[in-house]
Amino acid sequence: MISHARAIAPIETLSMHHRITGMLSRELRMDAANISPEVPLTQYGIDSIAALTIAGELEDQLGIELPSTLLWDCQTVNDLADYLGAELSGRQLANEVSYAGH
Amino acid sequence: MNTLLPQFRVAAELEQRLGDTQLPQNLFSFKATMERDEGEVYPEQAVNFLNGLNLHHYYVPKALGGRFVNCEEILAIHRVVARRDLAVAITYSTVAWSTLIWIAGSNAQKEKMAGRILGGGVAPCLAYSEKEHGADLLGGSVTATRLSNGDYEIDGEKWPINRATRGDFVSLVASTSNDRGPRSLTAFMIDKRDLDPATYYHLPRVKTLGLRGIDLSGIGFKKTIVRKEAVIGQEGEGLEAGLRGLQVTRTFCASFALGAGDTLLRTVANFAIERQLYGKAIVELPHVRELLANAYVNLMAAECIAFAAARGMHLFTDQFSIWSAIAKVQAPAMVERAGEAAAKVLGARFYMRDEYQWGIFQKTFRDNLIISIFDGSSVICLNSIGAQLKQISLTRQRGKSLSVEQVEALYDLRRPLPEFQPSRIQVYSKGQDAVAASLPVLLDKLAAMSADALLSEQRLLDIRNAAATIARQLADFDQAVISYFETSKDSSASAVFAKAEEYCQIHTSIVSLGIWLHNRTHLRDAFANGAGLLAILQRRGSPVLDVGGTDIPARESLMQDLLDRMQTNQMFSIINFQLAASGAGASHTSIHSIVSSNSTEGR
**pLDDT at residue number A67:** 87
Instruction: Decide if B219 contacts B157 (C-beta within 8 A).
Output: yes
List the one residue out of B258, B154, B134 whose CA is nearest residue B196. Answer: B154
Instruction: Decide if B136 contacts B239 (C-beta within 8 A).
Output: no
Give dist(CA B233, CA B68) in Å, integer: 22
Checking if the pLDDT of B593 tops 80, the result is: no
Asked if A47 has any chain B CB less than 8 Å from its own CB, the reply is: yes
Instruction: Decide if B301 contacts B508 (C-beta within 8 A).
Output: yes
Total CB pairs under 8 A between chain A and B: 66
β pairing state of A97-98 and A3-4: antiparallel
Question: Which chain B positions have a beta carbon within 8 Å of A72's beta carbon?
Answer: 181-183, 240
**pLDDT at residue number B601:** 37
Contact check, Cβ <8 Å, B431/A50: no
pLDDT band at A12 (very low <50, low <70, confident <90, very high): low
List the one residue out of B336, B367, B212, B332 whose CA is nearest residue B265. Answer: B336
**pLDDT at residue number B335:** 98
Checking if the pLDDT of B595 tops 60, the result is: no
C-alpha distances in angstroms, B102 versus A68, B20, B564?
Answer: 19, 35, 42
Contact check, Cβ <8 Å, A72/B182: yes
Using CA of residue B104, residue B108, residue B113, residue B114, what is the dihedral sign? positive
CA distance A31 to chain B (A): 17
Amino acid at B140: G
Question: Which chain B positions have a beta carbon within 8 Å of A49's beta carbon?
Answer: 387-388, 390-391, 485, 489, 491
**Residue B158: is it exposed, middle or buried by C-beta count within 10 angstroms (0-12/13-18/19+)?**
buried
Give dist(CA B132, CA B140) in Å, integer: 8
3-state secondary structure of B371: coil
pLDDT band at A102 (very low <50, low <70, confident <90, very high): very low
Q: What is the pLDDT of residues B65-91, one digit of tens each?
A: 999 999 999 999 999 999 999 999 999
Instruction: Decide if B365 contacts B573 (C-beta within 8 A).
Output: no
**Mean pLDDT of the region A19-44:** 86
Nearest to B428 among A1, A52, A98 (CB): A52
Asked if B237 has any chain A CB less than 8 Å from its own CB, the reply is: yes
Checking if the pLDDT of B14 tops 90, the result is: yes
pLDDT band at A13 (very low <50, low <70, confident <90, very high): low
CB atoms < 10 A from the CB of B109, how many? Answer: 20
**pLDDT at residue number B491:** 77
Contact check, Cβ <8 Å, B235/A49: no
Instruction: Decide if B265 contacts B295 (C-beta within 8 A).
Output: yes
Contact check, Cβ <8 Å, A68/B426: yes
Q: What is the pLDDT of residues B516-542, one digit of tens each?
A: 999 999 998 899 999 999 999 999 999
Instruction: Decide if B54 contacts B117 (C-beta within 8 A).
Output: no
> Considering chain B, what percentage of its residues have pLDDT values greater than 90?
87
List the one residue out of A71, A16, A25, A64 whose CA is nearest residue A44. Answer: A25
To probe the interface with B, which of A28, A48, A65 has the most B CB atoms within 10 Å?
A48
**Mean pLDDT of the region B436-441:** 97
Rg (CA), chain A: 13
**Residue B582: is it exposed, middle or buried by C-beta count within 10 angstroms (0-12/13-18/19+)?**
exposed
Give dist(CA B426, CA B243) in Å, integer: 9
The set of residues, in sequence order, having a beta carbon less than 8 Å from that of B148 and lying 6+ positions away, is: none
Mean residue pLDDT across chain B? 94
Nearest to B240 among A56, A69, A101 (CB): A69
Q: Mean pLDDT lowest for which of B44-53, B303-312, B387-396, B451-460?
A: B387-396
Asked if A63 has any chain B CB less than 8 Å from its own CB, the reply is: no
DSSP for A54-100?
Answer: HHHHHHHHHT----TTHHHH--SHHHHHHHHHHHHHT----S-EE-T
CA distance A43 to chain B (A): 13
Distance between start and end Cα atoms, chain B: 15
Q: Say what the pTM is.
A: 0.93
C-alpha distances in angstroms, B473 versus B272, B391, B499, B543?
Answer: 37, 18, 12, 17
> Considering chain B, what percentage of its residues have pLDDT values greater than 70?
98
Question: Which chain B positions have a beta carbon within 8 Å of A73's beta carbon?
Answer: 183
Instruction: Decide if B131 contacts B105 (C-beta within 8 A).
Output: no
**pLDDT at residue number B369:** 96
CB atoms < 10 A from the CB of B546, how many? Answer: 14
Give dist(CA B291, CA B297) in Å, integer: 10
**pLDDT at residue number B597:** 46
Asked if A69 has any chain B CB less than 8 Å from its own CB, the reply is: yes
**Mean pLDDT of the region B161-165:** 95
Rama region for B2: left / alpha / beta (φ>0; ψ in -120 to 50; rest): left
Rg (CA), chain B: 24
**pLDDT at residue number A15:** 82
Name the phi and psi angles at B202, rounded to 5.
Answer: -105, 150
C-alpha distances in angstroms, A48 versus A35, A41, B173?
Answer: 18, 11, 21
Contact check, Cβ <8 Å, B391/A52: yes
3-state secondary structure of B573: coil
Q: What is the pLDDT of residues B183-210, one digit of tens each?
A: 999 999 999 999 999 999 999 999 999 9
H or E segment at B224? strand B216-226
CA distance B443 to chain A (A): 28
**Mean pLDDT of the region B299-319:** 97
